[in-house]
Structure 1
Amino acid sequence: MLTVAVVSQKGGAGKSTLALHLAAEGAARGVQTLLIDLDPQGNLAGWGTRRGDLPPDVTAEHPANLDQTLAGAQEDGYGLVVLDTAPHADRASLRAAKAADLILVPCRPATFDLEAIRATLDVCELVKRPGIVILNAAPIRSRVVDEARAAVTGQGGTVMQIVIRQRVAFQHCLIDGRVASEFEPGGAAAAEITALYDDVMTRLHADATTRTPAL
């Protein structure tokens, strides 16, 4: 079972949107996937309710129960677990990061976000787990992406080559429990998530299976 934690100490980084898209992509590839909402706000749990019976499976858990929940997921045969965490929840973030095989760190290419990224990179170093920064909600065309990449690497972070752009599909699809590939099949947002999933699986030394058609 592979476990990915989406962690950022900065609010508004887009953790939940990335987490649910990553989990849904895994499910679309035929991987039994569990999305665990560790944020007390419960945004992912609400999205899961709107989604109904469509995969991935979604559950809301208290961080204190995480180890038990992951053990149960292992027994139930899940191949991928994605953990979504709350911002500024240091203890919960540490639990999630420690349980993960890979930590995905979303960061908007904006000054305040870049200034705050060091705190999340410190979490990765503290738990001795690999962390990778993904530039998220970036402008479609702007030099700020290159500047942000340089700023993160200057702080010792590793940045994914793939960039997730600010696209309307990511916003509108959530209203009725869909993901970008279902809202706009073949669109740019869907292609970015496909590339993100492939990159994550490569870093986890796992094979990305053939994607099933969009629902």
Structure 2
Amino acid sequence: MKILAITSQKGGVGKTTLATALAVAAEQDGKSVALFDLDPQASACFWADRRQKELGESGQTPTVRDIQTARLSHYLDRMREAGADLVILDCPPVHRDIAHDAASVADLILIPTKPEVFDIRAMQQTVQAAQQIGKPCAVVMTFCPPSGPEVDQARQIVGKQGAALVPVALHQRKAYGRAQMQGLAPQEYEPGGKAAQEVQEVYIYTRLQLFGEKKHGSKTGQSRKRA
């Protein structure tokens, strides 16, 4: 079982949007997935509630749980016993102790950031925290404008930090927000859209880092166990 933590010390950078979209992408790839909501705001749980209301029985996956950090290791053990392939940790901003505990058990940390000065500053702090505990991390650019120098400037800063950069950026697209309100991921809301393509490319990158898998659907045809 692999553990992916999605964290940033600043809010509003798209952590839950990324977490839910990657959880759905992994499910579509045939993996058994659990999404643990560590944020007191419980945005991922709200998404899951909307999902079940919209989709009924088919909206019960991926599994989403509201988890207290003190019980994190217990629930991770339960997921291993259940045969889960992937657990995604949706971490809160500001709460450094929670983020630290989540990062400590993660196989990979994704750090979403907007290409704006205050967000980049918070990203740098999060990268440093991951590096201090020796965990691999990668920065994901989010809410990127269609043009302008901000994205390239942010990429240069990431490079100077010595952190990996996910090769695809998530842009400002209505599909992200509209999908969230319906308990969907962008690839479900608008399968042929640009947001869906961006999510899929981020998932491919993440899957390669975690599982070493390059081909999509490597588990197709196998029975999928519920996490």
Asked if 1 retains the 8 angstrom alpha-carbon contact of 2:35 and 2:64, the reply is yes
Superposed displacement of residue 35, structure 1 = 0.5
**1:153 corresponds to which of 154, 159, 182:** 159
| Structure 1 segments unaligned to the other structure (5+ residues) | none
Structure 1 stretch 192-201 or stretch 133-142: which is displaced more?
133-142
**1:89 corresponds to which of 95, 99, 102:** 95
In the TM superposition, what whole-angstrom CA distance separates every residue of 1:150-206 from its partner, at most 9, and x where no partner exists?
A: 122223322111111111000111112111111111110000011000001111243
SS at 2:168's partner residue?
coil
Is 1:42 matched up with 2:42?
Answer: yes
User: Which residue pairs with 2:223 in the alignment?
Assistant: none
Superposed displacement of residue 77, structure 1 = 0.9
Q: Which amino acid aligns with 2:152?
A: D
User: Which residue pairs with 2:116 in the alignment?
Assistant: 110
Is 1:203 matched up with 2:209?
Answer: yes
User: Which residue pairs with 2:198 in the alignment?
Assistant: 192
How do 1:54-65 and structure 2 match up within 5 A?
Answer: 54=59, 55-65=61-71
User: Which residue pairs with 2:144 in the alignment?
Assistant: 138
SS at 2:164's partner residue?
coil
State the distance in 2 between where 1:129 and 1:146 align.
Answer: 25
Superposed displacement of residue 210, structure 1 = 2.3
Q: Which amino acid aligns with 1:3?
A: I
Q: Which amino acid aligns with 2:178?
A: H
| Structure 2 segments unaligned to the other structure (5+ residues) | 221-227
User: Which residue pairs with 1:69 in the alignment?
Assistant: 75
Is 1:181 matched up with 2:187?
Answer: yes
Asked if 1 retains the 8 angstrom alpha-carbon contact of 2:38 and 2:67, the reply is yes
User: Which residue pairs with 1:32 in the alignment?
Assistant: 32
State the distance in 2 between where 1:146 and 1:65 align.
Answer: 40
In the TM superposition, structure 1's runs of 4+ consecutive aligned residues that sit over 4 Å from their partners are none
Superposed displacement of residue 3, structure 1 = 0.8
User: Which residue pairs with 2:225 in the alignment?
Assistant: none
Q: Higher RCO, 1 or 2 (CA under 8 Å, sep at least 6)?
A: 2
Q: Which amino acid aligns with 2:151?
A: V
Is 1:170 matched up with 2:181?
Answer: no
Normalising by structure 2, what TM-score?
A: 0.89
SS at 1:201's partner residue?
helix
User: Which residue pairs with 2:129 in the alignment?
Assistant: 123
Asked if 2 retains the 8 angstrom alpha-carbon contact of 1:23 and 1:82, the reply is yes
Normalising by structure 1, what TM-score?
A: 0.94
Percent identity of the aligned residues?
A: 35
Superposed displacement of residue 116, structure 1 = 1.8
Superposed displacement of residue 141, structure 1 = 2.5
State the distance in 2 between where 1:107 and 1:120 align.
Answer: 10
